[in-house]
Amino acid sequence: MKLTLWTYEGPPHVGAMRVATGMQGLHMVLHAPQGDTYADLLFTMIERRGQRPPVSYTTFQARDLGADTAGLFKQSCMDAYERFKPEALLVCASCTAELIQDDPGGLAGRLGLPVPVIALDLPSYSRKENFGADEAMLQLARALAKPMARTDHVSCNILGPTALGFRHRDDVAEITGLLSDMGIAVNVAAPMGARPSDIARLGAAHFNVVLYPETGESAARWLETHHGQPWTRTIPIGTRATRAFIDEVRGLAVAARLPDTARLRQPWWSASVDSTYLTDKRVFIFGDATHVMAAARVARDEMGFEVAGLGCYNREFARPMRTLAKEFGLEALITDDYMEVERAIEAVRPELILGTQMERHIGKRLGIPCAVISAPVHVQDFPARYSPQMGFEGANVLFDTWVHPLVMGLEEHLLTMFREDFEFNNEAGPSHHGGHAPRPMGLEGAAQPAAAEGGSMPPEDAPLPEPVVAASGEVIWLADAERELKKIPFFVRGKARRNTEKFAAERGVWQISLDTLYEAKAHYAR
Amino acid sequence: MTVLPALPATGCRTAPVLRERGQREVFCGLTGIIWLHRKMQDAFFLVVGSRTCAHLLQSAAGVMIFAEPRFGTAILEEKDLAGLADANTELDREVARLLARRPDIRQLFLVGSCPSEVIKLDLQRAAERLTVIHAPHVRVLNYSGSGIETTFTQGEDACLAAMVPALPSTEARELLLVGALPDVVEDQALDLLARLGVGPVRCLPARRSGDLPSVGPNTRFILAQPFLGDTHAALMRRGAQPIAAPFPFGAEGTTRWLAAIAAEFGVPADRFAAVTDGPRARAERAVAQVAERLRGKSVFFMPDSQLEVPLARFLTRECGMTAVEIGTPYLHAEIMGPELDLIAAGPTISEGQDVDRQLDRVRAARPDLTVCGLGLANPLESEGLSTKWAIELVFTPVHMYEQAADLASLFARPLRRRALLGAAQEAAE
Ligand code: SF4
Ligand code: SF4
């Protein structure tokens, strides 16, 4: 038993729903009680889908338990087939149905439906959403992919995109364009956008491009073994990784051309002098392992940030995550407990967080700007505009979205010069953010009415905890030093406080005076 | 003198009910925690369930993360199910940890879920045991919010019903207001009742556990929410007597609700008129303004919160709408009787659900407005049908006079929006 307040991932059947909902011509029957139908709103509200997910729920009740839940399940399968006439039926059990052990696969298999019935075994008490999606895709490939001759012209499949995925819609478009630029056709992109009949012809591709290992790797491995298709390991997030991805693809498709890079602006945007202020910004990165590992490299090598902490919530990827962290001289935080993440962020006091919607809330509470780089995400992370994370346009988008929450370069200097100005003061926050300015650490966080953004809850008005001054324990700030610290603009104040305390502690100084503050400042000058 | 609008010649109390038993598209009772934990400020709700339960709460709450919420889920793991770990020991440990971290908590609700019920985890005994361990500081109660037993708002009913047996006894003649109302609404109700000279008035649930009401044979209680059937029965078992009335939605509903209380407590007619005439006229004026947009329009209620019947009464009687179908997850004949009397015969009254068949009926009727859950709203909108998400009706202050027009606005806004966007589109073409 484990106490959980908020979760990064839903249960595995939600992962399976992400696969089914992304596809066309597939229907899923989920053996589950009525409350589990909440999952529909993830797709219709958060992703703004205009169709219901193709899922029928048996919605068994207590009175059915002693009677015939298996009969109910069979009826639901037959009704769903009759009404929706899918090309294939996916069946599985939610956490409650797993306990009553009705064997959905066996029951549906014996109905003699004229379409393939694919059963998923989803252990709800040990696995989570990404597993469910990955497993669903694997089982669809196993059940449907036929042996097949390769296309004459070189082609590949794109594996991993699902409904409710973070920017999957635009990533697929961007990478499809990139590949086509190189002279490579996309045979099938799956699961999102594919039909069961498309899954059947996965084997026609020459190789597979795995964009999201969390939800596509098992299928890629199976296709490698059974259909002899190699697959790409590089995730094309950022300029360098996109170039490395192109090299990897050219290794698999020898005749491929180099793509056009005219639209790539990120390297120059990063090199131009206005971006100097980005140098050594301390960032904390948390999310799913794939996005975090890619973001960490981009942050260090393409933005000139200092990665001050990183980690992921999906334990399945703990090993590569730890290896990468070591390369950065850090210890990876592997946890799905958001309170632990919050504590880590509080301790590190970064100047920017790259995270999920959970970290956005943490950032809001702590007054630290945050850009979202990974699922889970909320309605505002499904923008109307084209906004990929991958490929060259993705690199441009990363630059813009990561820089946006920060204070601009020149503005930073003006704030330092005029910090006592009553209008132009550092509590005002970035001028391009209107009312949505991040609050300085320690002041009351910005809890906004949910209704403003489609959330339905009134805000929690509980007072926010004051951050503990000295993380190290006994360091005391003398009044004049404390006053001086307050004059430092809020976006560097956290760093100044942290450095000074560290500086003091290293020297065995337990009282911070004005002198200590400026000694430390001199020490850390770079 | 207070004059109320006439009853229809034929109401809906005896209308045939279409009972359906197919796929339901509704939340389970766990959802109630989202408003209950805000109402009871020293209570914590600990769901004993699965990752699905935790995910439901998070999704229904709009994925809002504000500090540390006063609810959480103790997620059952494989070892709990395989009997490798004793679920009770595990629960005791989690509760001890939680209470140590949250010394402000005075009431702890162990909330049962489908998984905890299917594995027959006895939360009643757990609550008794934990009450002994954590007395006197914390009282531990239990109820089920599981989807196999409760639908959406029934979670609040189960919670309040669980509180009733533990309430202290009294012989006093008091009025008990039952149902979690937003504080602003509750204050308005208390103020009106005070001016009517009705009192003392207590509330269930109370904002803080120190203010919990007592109950006994001289208690008269009135429901402020229509979905509290079990609480109604539990209070009667304690000897309390119910006051039957329509619910305080709209000017008429509020007046009839107050009038029923006034009759029970012998409030003189002139005093009643003096207190209610002003706010009632104001509410009627405000509603009439908003109702311009609703008049003559049709409405279809999908089953959701059990507020459907009173809301249909409000929309048909005060806003000039016609109801096509009034679907409700559960129809409590006694509690809904006074409401059904007020609705003119005509609409289909349905109980339970078979969502695909019901959607067929929606598409055939093409109502001007469909009141439905979040999972159905955008799909219907994309078919050109205006919708109102039902969950907002539970989260927004909509009871009593001063909110009557807000309630009407909730229904008018989607129509207004469609008209605005449509007009803009026409202008562009
Ligand atoms: S329906 Fe049951 S399993 Fe599903 S969220 Fe509700 S209590 Fe949990
Ligand atoms: S409404 Fe505010 S708090 Fe909620 S997700 Fe949006 S930005 Fe975050």
Nearest ligand 2 atom to alpha carbon A451: 1
A41 vs B146: CB contact, 8 Å cut-off?
no
Amino acid of residue B405:
A
Instruction: Using alpha carbons, select from B201, B184, B182 the residue that is nearest to residue B193.
Output: B201
CB within 8 Å: B114 and A460: no
* Residue B147 alpha carbon, nearest atom of ligand 1: 1
Strand boundaries in B50-179, DSSP class E: 71-75, 107-112, 139-144, 175-178
Superfamily of domain B175-274: Nitrogenase molybdenum iron protein domain (3.40.50.1980)
How far off is chain A from B35, nearest CA to CA, in Å?
Answer: 8
Inter-chain CB proximity A125 and B67 less than 8 Å:
no
- A502 pLDDT band, cuts 50/70/90, is confident
**Residue B56 is nearest to which of A35, A100, A124, comparing CB atoms?**
A35
Architecture of domain A145-252: 3-Layer(aba) Sandwich (3.40)
Give the chain B residue whose CA is nearest to the CA of A83: B356
With a cut of 60, say whether residue A459 has pLDDT above it: no
- B416 burial (CB, 10 Å; 0-12 / 13-18 / 19+) is middle
Return the residue whose CA atom lies nearest to atom 8 of ligand 2.
Answer: A361
pLDDT band at A410 (very low <50, low <70, confident <90, very high): low
Topology of domain B17-24+292-428 in CATH is Rossmann fold (3.40.50)
A256's CB contacts (< 8 A; 6+ apart) are A154, A182, A183, A184, A249, A250
Query: In the prediction, which pLDDT does B80 show?
Result: 86
Whether residue B406 contacts residue B398, with contact meaning beta carbons closer than 8 Å, is answered with yes
Percent of chain B with pLDDT over 90: 87
Residue in A9, A49, A460 closest to B378 by CB: A49
Q: How confident is the model at residue A429 (pLDDT cuts 50, 70, 90)?
A: low
Distance from Cα A36 to the centre of ligand 1, integer Å: 6
**Beta carbons of A34 and B147 less than 8 Å apart:** yes
Distance A9 CA to ligand 2 centre (A): 19
Average pLDDT estimate for B90-102: 92
Counting atoms of ligand 1 from 1, which one is nearest the CA of B115? 3
Inter-chain contact A61–B29, Cβ cutoff 8 Å?
no
* Predicted local distance difference test score (pLDDT) of residue A133: 98
pLDDT of res. A411? 59
Q: If pLDDT is split at 50, 70 and 90, which confidence band does A516 have?
A: confident
Decide if pLDDT at B317 tops 90.
yes
Fold for domain A266-406? Answer: Rossmann fold (3.40.50)
What are the residue ranges spanned by the domains of chain B?
17-24+292-428, 29-150, 175-274
Pocket test for ligand 2, best of A378, A433, A436, A461 (most atoms within 8 A of CB): A378
Task: Pick from A357, A372, A379, A380 the residue to mutate for probing ligand 2's pocket: most ligand atoms within 8 Å of its CB.
Answer: A380
Does the N-terminal peptide bond of residue B200 adopt cis geometry, omega within 30 degrees of 0?
yes
- pLDDT of A441 higher than 70: no
Reported as a pLDDT band with limits 50, 70 and 90, residue B60 is: confident
d(CA A225, nearest CA chain B) in Å: 31
Q: Running DSSP on this structure, what letter comes out for residue A254?
A: T
- Mean pLDDT estimate for chain A: 88
Does A37 contact B51 at a Cβ distance shorter than 8 Å? no
Rounded to the nearest integer, the mean pLDDT of chain B is 94
Q: B94: nearest CA in chain A?
A: A3
Tens-digit pLDDT profile for residues A326-380: 999 999 999 999 889 999 999 999 999 999 999 998 998 888 999 999 999 888 8
Using DSSP, how many helices (H) and how many strands (E) does chain A show? 21, 16
Between B42 and B65, the more confident residue is B42
pLDDT band at A234 (very low <50, low <70, confident <90, very high): very high
Domains A145-252 and A476-524 are alike in CATH topology: no
Q: How many angstroms separate the CA atoms of B317 and A368, rounded?
A: 52
Ligand with the closest atom to the CA of A356: 2
What are the catalytic residues of A? 274
**ipTM value of the model?**
0.93
Q: Which of B52, B85, B382 sits opposite A11 (nearest CB)?
A: B52
State pLDDT tens for residues A68-98. 999 999 999 999 999 999 999 999 999 999 9
The 10s digit of each residue's pLDDT in B152-177 is: 999 999 999 999 999 999 999 999 99
- So what's the pLDDT on residue A61? 93
CB B348 within 8 A of CB B18: yes
Exposed e or buried b per residue across B195-215, where buried means at least 16 C-beta atoms within 10 angstroms of its C-beta: ebebeebbbbbbbebeebbeb
Across the interface, whether the CB atoms of A457 and B61 are under 8 A apart is answered yes
- Ligand 2 environment, Cβ below 6 A: A 378, 448, 450, 452-453, 455; B 64
Q: Is pLDDT above 60 for A423?
A: no
Q: With cut-offs at 50, 70 and 90, classify the pLDDT of residue A451.
A: very low
Tokens describing residue B272: 């009643």
Residue from A27, A29, A41, A64 whose CB has the most chain B CBs within 10 Å, to mutate: A41
Closest ligand, as measured to the CA of A98: 1
Give A476-524's CATH code, choosing from 2.130.10.10, 1.20.58.220, 1.10.8.550, 3.10.20.600. Answer: 1.10.8.550
CA distance B276 to B389: 31
- What is the tens place of the pLDDT at every residue in A297-316? 999 999 999 999 999 999 99
**A378, closest residue in chain B (CA to CA):** B63
Q: What is the pLDDT of residues B103-127, one digit of tens each?
A: 999 999 999 999 999 999 999 999 9
Nearest CB neighbour to A41, from listed B24, B85, B375:
B375
Residue B114 Cα: closest atom of ligand 1: 2
Residue in B38, B58, B376 nearest the CB of A7: B58
In this prediction, residue B2 carries a pLDDT of 87
Backbone conformation region of residue B223, classed left if phi is above 0, alpha if psi is from -120 to 50, else beta: beta
CA of A252 to the centre of ligand 1 (A): 47
For residue A389, with 0-12 CB atoms within 10 Å meaning exposed, 13-18 middle and 19 or more buried, which class applies? buried
- Can you read off the two tokens belonging to residue B416? 């207004």
Alpha helices (H) along A42-192:
62-65, 69-84, 95-100, 104-109, 129-144, 168-181
Q: Give residue limits of the domains in chain A.
A: 12-131, 145-252, 266-406, 476-524
A462: chain B residues, CB-CB within 8 Å: 66-68
The rounded distance, in Å, linking the Cα atoms of A487 and B18 is 70
- For chain A, the straight-line distance linking the first and the last C-alpha, in angstroms and rounded, comes to 49
Question: Can B29-150 and B175-274 be said to share one CATH topology?
Answer: yes
- Residue numbers in A near B356 (CB within 8 A): 79, 83
Chain A: give the shortest CA distance to residue B327, in Å: 16
Which residues are bridge partners to A287 per DSSP? Answer: A312
Is residue A434's pLDDT more than 80? Answer: no
Strand partners, A121: none
* Full-model pTM: 0.89
The CATH class that applies to domain B29-150 reads alpha beta
Confidence of residue A497 (pLDDT cuts 50, 70, 90): confident
**Cβ distance of A3 and B117 shorter than 8 Å:** no
Least confident of A79-88, A421-430, B298-307: A421-430
Q: Which CATH class is domain A12-131?
A: alpha beta
Helices H, strands E: what count in chain B?
A: 17, 14
pLDDT beyond 90 at B277: yes
Q: Which band of pLDDT confidence, cut at 50, 70 and 90, is reported for residue A454?
A: very low
Taking the centre of ligand 2 as the mean of its atom positions, its distance from the CA of residue A175, in whole angstroms, is: 30
- Once rounded to an integer, what is the mean pLDDT over residues A499-513? 87
